[in-house]
């Protein structure tokens, strides 16, 4: 056995899950049910949504919707016309700050406000925008930040503070000093990104059963009838024509179930997010770099390893200078990491699907799970998608939902105003 083959064998031995997909999915299902009953960090009710047959809409709406997407490394916003979900103006801003405090939010809102004022420069009347926010970090039922992930750190001064109140106060401060102000705002709804994806698919497409986010992090969302939700988590006065939206916060899943190795530990990660650590575009490249360092595999600069590079290597699209044997080794390592991620993502989705469809798993029922998804890591990796199809035996139908974080935020406020 060559040195490279020996290294690859050792890596695969550590990465390969020790249990069958069916057993892991059953464990995830039990964990989801337990978290629905007990957890304050996951299986959180993210509001309610009208049942598909009960959705009421209006042909005309007096105000435009300003949707803001705080999803990770990029801030996006858009003006959206409803009910046709038409984006009339949008822009984005790269986030460099890692400390999330009041200054962090003020900087974002200042940038948005100046961009909107420029866009509205020729308008005579002051516009009013209904503001909806997609916030991709865990929130409790009072919209307070529970924890930060994806490399961000939460300041103590915003702990136990409502994101809705923080953003409303930022707008108040920024707009009071904005020269030749052209608009007013009303901050309405704050939803999780998995909820946004779910609402987009429910409102614009066929009735997807599950939403999936797989980019720098991982998450999922689905709906349950109020009777299936524990009373302590059930929203008060949920209308009879509505279901509860369940924000899984899937990154927390898998403690004691996911095969986490010594390569998966990183200095600034969430120690209690095993599924996110092994499946997401934020942490999988760091695990890859740790493996290369441990086995002294040279030729790649560890500081340049990211999700895009990992996918290029796995899909034989890497154009860098490496000898053939080294390239084959790192390609197989990258593929092994993606295979492990796909295995656990499929197990999680089957577990979620079992709650939605009642008993679905990898071996029972012919009913497929319909998944509306976003996230650049999965969207841009054909190899990741192929491995998910392989492990799921093509029993998951995926539909990519472009701009769903923005559209879903607008849909949330629109439905609340109409219903």
Residues involved in catalysis: 193
Q: Rounded distance, CA 215 to CA 206, Å?
A: 23
**325 in the same domain as 215:** yes
The pLDDT of residue 285 is 96
**345 in the same domain as 214:** yes
Q: Rounded distance, CA 105 to CA 281, Å?
A: 25
pLDDT in tens, 186-209: 999 999 888 899 999 888 766 567
Asked, for residue 24, whether it belongs to a domain, the answer is yes
The pLDDT of residue 404 is 92
**221 in the same domain as 112:** no
pLDDT in tens, 366-409: 568 889 999 999 999 999 999 999 999 989 989 899 999 999 99
**218 in the same domain as 182:** no
The pLDDT of residue 60 is 63
Asked, for residue 313, whether it belongs to a domain, the answer is yes
**368 in the same domain as 239:** yes
The pLDDT of residue 329 is 95
**232 in the same domain as 303:** yes
The pLDDT of residue 55 is 60
pLDDT in tens, 53-109: 556 666 566 678 999 998 777 899 999 998 888 999 999 999 888 888 899 999 999
**241 in the same domain as 172:** no
**396 in the same domain as 267:** yes
For residue 312, pLDDT beyond 80:
yes
pLDDT in tens, 231-247: 999 887 777 888 999 99
Using only C-alpha atoms, what is the Rg of the chain? 22
The pLDDT of residue 165 is 95
User: What is the extent of the structural domain holding 269?
Assistant: 3-38+206-400
Q: How sure is the predictor about 270, in pLDDT bands with cuts at 50, 70 and 90?
A: low
**257 in the same domain as 212:** yes
Predicted TM-score (pTM) of the model is 0.82
Asked, for residue 231, whether it belongs to a domain, the answer is yes
Task: Identify the residue with better confidence: 356 or 13.
Answer: 13
pLDDT in tens, 23-62: 999 999 999 999 999 998 899 998 888 876 556 666 566 6
Asked, for residue 201, whether it belongs to a domain, the answer is no
| CATH code of the domain in which 378 resides | 3.40.367.20
Lowest mean pLDDT among 23-32, 130-139, 150-159: 150-159
**158 in the same domain as 210:** no
**136 in the same domain as 227:** no
The pLDDT of residue 256 is 92
| CATH code of the domain in which 187 resides | 3.30.420.40
Quote the number of domains for the chain: 2
Asked, for residue 198, whether it belongs to a domain, the answer is no
Q: Share the mean pLDDT of the chain.
A: 89
In sequence order, which residues have a C-beta less than 8 Å from that of residue 32 and are 6 or more positions away?
Answer: 43, 248, 253, 351, 352, 355
Asked, for residue 314, whether it belongs to a domain, the answer is yes
**276 in the same domain as 315:** yes
Asked, for residue 282, whether it belongs to a domain, the answer is yes
Asked, for residue 383, whether it belongs to a domain, the answer is yes
- The pair phi, psi for residue 59, each rounded to 5°, is -70, -35
């Amino acid at each position: 056995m060559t040195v490279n083959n020996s290294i690859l064998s050792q890596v695969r031995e550590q990465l390969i899950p020790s249990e069958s997909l069916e057993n892991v999915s059953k464990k995830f299902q039990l964990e989801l049910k337990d978290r629905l009953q007990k957890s304050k960090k996951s299986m959180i009710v993210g509001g309610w949504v009208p049942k598909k047959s009960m959705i009421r809409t209006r042909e005309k709406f007096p105000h435009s919707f300003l949707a803001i997407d705080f999803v990770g490394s990029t801030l996006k916003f858009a003006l959206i016309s409803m009910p046709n979900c038409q984006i009339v103006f949008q822009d984005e801003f790269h986030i460099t700050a890692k400390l999330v405090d009041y200054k962090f939010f003020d900087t974002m809102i200042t940038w948005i406000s100046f961009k909107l004022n420029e866009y509205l420069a020729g308008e005579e009347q002051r516009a009013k925008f209904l503001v909806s926010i997609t916030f991709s970090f865990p929130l409790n039922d009072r919209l307070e930040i529970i924890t930060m992930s994806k490399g961000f750190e939460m300041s103590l001064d915003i702990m136990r503070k409502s994101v809705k109140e923080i953003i409303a106060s930022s707008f108040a401060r920024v707009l009071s000093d904005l020269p030749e102000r052209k608009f007013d705002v009303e901050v309405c709804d704050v939803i999780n990104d998995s909820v946004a994806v779910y609402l987009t698919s429910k409102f614009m497409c066929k009735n997807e059963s599950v939403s999936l986010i797989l980019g720098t992090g991982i998450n999922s969302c689905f709906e349950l009838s109020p009777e299936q939700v524990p009373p302590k988590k059930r929203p008060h006065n949920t209308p009879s024509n509505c279901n509860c939206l369940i924000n899984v916060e899937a990154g927390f899943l898998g403690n004691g179930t996911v095969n986490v190795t010594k390569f998966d530990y990183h200095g600034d990660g969430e120690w209690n997010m095993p599924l996110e650590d092994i499946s997401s575009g934020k942490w999988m490249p760091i695990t890859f770099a740790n493996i290369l360092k441990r086995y002294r595999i040279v030729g790649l600069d560890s500081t340049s390893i990211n999700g895009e590079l990992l996918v290029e290597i796995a899909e034989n699209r890497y154009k860098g200078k490496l000898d053939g044997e080294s390239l084959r080794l790192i390609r197989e390592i990258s593929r092994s990491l993606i295979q492990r991620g796909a295995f656990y993502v499929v197990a999680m989705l089957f577990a979620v699907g079992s709650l939605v469809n009642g008993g679905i798993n990898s071996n029972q029922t012919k009913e497929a799970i319909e998944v509306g998804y976003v996230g650049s890591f999965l969207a841009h990796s054909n190899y990741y998608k192929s491995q998910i199809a392989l492990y799921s035996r093509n029993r998951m139908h995926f539909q990519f939902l472009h701009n769903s974080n923005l559209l879903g935020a607008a849909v949330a406020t629109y439905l609340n105003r109409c219903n």
